[in-house]
Amino acid sequence: MNPEEHAKRLLSVIGRLIGLLKEENKQLDVPGRPKGLTELVKEKDLLSHSYEQEMKILANPEQRAKLKPEVMTRLVEAATALGELMDENRKKLEAKMEATKTIFKIMAEAAKEFRAASGGYGRTGAYGTDGQKVRGAYQPAISLGVNREL
């Protein structure tokens, strides 16, 4: 395959990657996990592999020298646009992951507080919650009654 054909294939892959990244970036703006995101990521991985293969071929200076200047200009412009979208995608993914970490951290703290506040048996065999006076296992219970007769 000649360098022009590789460049054409690379431009096609870049175009498809740009479309996928735009769609993924839109979906990352939606709270939660949008439907179809998994499929987008799988296709993005496949296209990324194709992109790398074509770039390896065109990374050779001899191959690049055979390209027409206008094709080289189109490649540079397409790669620049792809790079900008990839940077935006990275930022959105990092924000989504940070938000998820924060949610799990809040849930873990709430679980710790609940666990600390719930009653349980202590070292002495007493049952109760922290900060609450509990009777020890060795002390008998005290019964109180109220007599309303005068």
Nearest by Cα to 79 from 2, 17, 127, 138:
17
Work out the number of other CB atoms within 10 angstroms of the CB of residue 6: 21
The token duo for 105 is 């951290």
pTM of the model: 0.69
pLDDT tens for the chain, 150 residues long, are 888 999 999 999 999 999 999 999 999 888 877 788 889 989 999 999 999 999 998 888 888 889 999 999 999 999 999 999 999 999 999 998 898 888 888 888 877 776 665 556 666 666 555 545 555 455 545 544 555 543
Tell me the C-alpha distance between 78 and 21, whole Å: 13
Task: Give the model's pLDDT for residue 144.
Answer: 46
Task: Give the model's pLDDT for residue 115.
Answer: 63
Q: How far is CA 149 from CA 10, 142, 146, in A?
A: 98, 22, 9
For the chain, domains (ranges, CATH) are 3-116 (1.20.58)
Task: Give the model's pLDDT for residue 10.
Answer: 95
